[in-house]
Amino acid sequence: MKNKARTICVVLLIFIALGTVALAGTETQLTQDERLTQRTAIYGNYVFWIESAGNDVHAYDLTTGNRADITGNSAGGKINAYGDKVVWTGDGESVYMYNISTGNKTMIADGRRVADIYGNYIVYTNNYYYNQDQENDGIYLYDLETQNETKIAAVYSFPAIYGNRVVWSQENNSSAYDIYLYNLSTQETGKIATTNRSEPESELEIFGNVVVWTESDNVYMHDIAANKTTPVTSNGNSYQPAIYGNRIVYTIGNPYIGGNKDIYMYEIPAARTTRITNSTFAFNPSVYGDKIVYADCRNNPEFCEARDIYLYDLSNTSNSLVANFTDNVSKGTAPLNVSFSDTSTGTPDTWYWDFGDGEISNEQNPVHTYVSAGNYTACLTVNNANGTDSKLVTISVK
């Protein structure tokens, strides 16, 4: 029994670390026979995507099931949404906006590209040509109320906006790119994080105090308030991060070439990684609340041309099994008595405790004595009809 419990714990922890434990959410296919879908966006009950086969933008209302097809003016690249508005790059060099409530499409700026939107503000950069005069490089802020454009940085980059913060990557003296932030309220600019990238970050996103990006084919997050950068992945094969609330979604598997690719989710407070899809053909994720949308070419895997849009709903996973526990003490001198209290959610049926010193227990709330000095990994594995989950902590004994 001792070896069995330890095996269960170790195997589950490996699964969790690799993001292979799936949630009991609901997946829905929203479209049929879409062609060459590039990017997705979601805000509220509206889902948007760009389809490069027709160079158009499309919108889907999750409430009514109605679809709107918008002439995209040769739309390409990223697409971003806020409220009932969506922005994208059209004609290769112009920023467009569509209001799904009014049905109005507007060209916001010519000679600009890579737009993001929040509230009444749109941010974008200039068009870039390798041999052009760099004096026109810039990050620009457009006010939808005043229709005024303001240059907030003299660099070419890929900006993102949330609240009163605009972020982008900017080259430093070592030819690497750092993350900068502009505060709309104070009109101050400052560096918030360093990276090892050798080119502008094109997959930068921000929500609240957290900025996410890719570096060396891994996803990173930076907490602005804590001034702390944390790697979300370490597999060297992660791309396309998007963030909403405490959830970061991304693709494992290069979305730009062949090979397996799936959507994963990282929950910031629990530092927990979860595999969302297992089709091996999913990419281009975006997230809003409990909803994740993505493209998937499972229906045309040989050429990956029929890239339909799927929705994964997390709202019915509140009863899924999540292992958790507390202890009354995590360090001290031997002999150290530790009381473990199970706080798992999802109604476990069984509990397997591996205290890391060769002893185990099947009690829900055991008390264990560590008799020798050392660092021990205490692991709880819980189980029910919905699956198995594990959590560990370190107990330090002197």
Full DSSP string of 268-324? TTTTEEEE---SSBEEEEEEETTEEEEEE-TTSTTTT-B-EEEEEE-TT-TTS-B--
Q: Are residues 341 and 194 in the same domain?
A: no
* pLDDT given at position 17: 42
Of 313, 347, 366, the one marking the end of a domain is 313
Give domain status of residue 20, yes or no: no
368 inside domain: yes
Q: What is the amino acid identity at position 149? A: E
Identify whether residues 81 and 190 lie together within a single domain. yes
Rounded distance between C-alpha atoms, residue 389 and residue 54, angstroms: 45
Do the domain assignments include residue 351?
Answer: yes
Mean pLDDT confidence for 2-19: 46
In a domain, 19, yes or no: no
Angle at 88 between CA 86 and CA 91, to 5 degrees: 140
Please name the residue that has the structure tokens 């969506």.
86
Q: What is the DSSP letter of 136?
A: G
Q: What is the pLDDT of residue 128?
A: 72
Q: What is the extent of the structural domain holding 58?
A: 25-313
Contact 206, 221 (CB under 8 A): no
Residue 265 lies in a domain: yes
80 and 189 within one domain = yes
Q: Give the lowest-confidence range in 95-99, 225-229, 252-256.
A: 252-256
Would you give the DSSP letter of residue 23? P
pLDDT at 317: 63
Distance CA 112, CA 139 (A): 10
Whether the pLDDT of residue 23 is over 60: the answer is no
Q: Which of 276, 296, 313 lies at the terminal end of a domain, its last residue?
A: 313
pLDDT of residue 295: 96
Least confident of 100-104, 148-152, 391-395: 391-395
104/200 same-domain check: yes
| Same-domain status, 369 and 224 | no
Pairing of strands 160-162, 165-171: antiparallel
- Are 307 and 349 within one domain? no
Structure tokens belonging to residue 290:
């409990």
Q: Are residues 239 and 126 in the same domain?
A: yes
Q: How far apart are CA 109 and CA 97, in angstroms?
A: 10
Q: Quick one: 223 and 241 in the same domain? A: yes
The H-or-E segment that residue 213 falls in is strand 210-215
Tell me the two tokens of residue 295: 């493209």
240 and 208 both lie in a single domain? yes
Res. 7: pLDDT tops 60: no
Tokens standing for residue 335 = 């002999």
Among 313, 335, 358, give the residue marking a domain's end: 313
Q: Dihedral through CA 58, CA 292, CA 161, CA 109, nearest 10? A: -10
18 within domain boundaries: no
Contact 243, 206 (CB under 8 A): yes
Integer angstrom CA distances of residue 122 from 188, 209, 249: 18, 19, 23
Per-residue model confidence (pLDDT) at position 129: 56
Q: Taking a C-beta distance cutoff of 8 angstroms, is the pair 249, 23 a contact?
A: no
* Residues in Cβ contact with 288 at an 8 Å cutoff, skipping those fewer than 6 apart: 42, 43, 44, 244
Same domain assignment for residues 84 and 211 = yes
Judgement on whether residues 284 and 380 belong to the same structural domain of the protein: no
Residue 74, judged by CB atoms within 10 A of its CB (0-12, 13-18, 19+), counts as middle
Which residue is associated with the tokens 């112009």? 94
Whether 390 is covered by a domain: the verdict is yes
Residue 319: per-residue pLDDT: 59
Q: How many domains does the chain have?
A: 2
**Contact indicator for 149, 121 with CB cutoff of 8 Å:** no
pTM of the model: 0.78
Same domain flag for 47 and 86: yes
Average pLDDT over residues 230-256: 94
Each residue's pLDDT tens digit, 27-62: 999 998 888 888 999 999 999 999 887 789 999 999
Tokens 């805000």 map to which residue?
A: 43
Helix (H) or strand (E) holding 188: strand 188-193
Q: 333: domain CATH number?
A: 2.60.40.10
Distance CA 41, CA 33 (A): 19
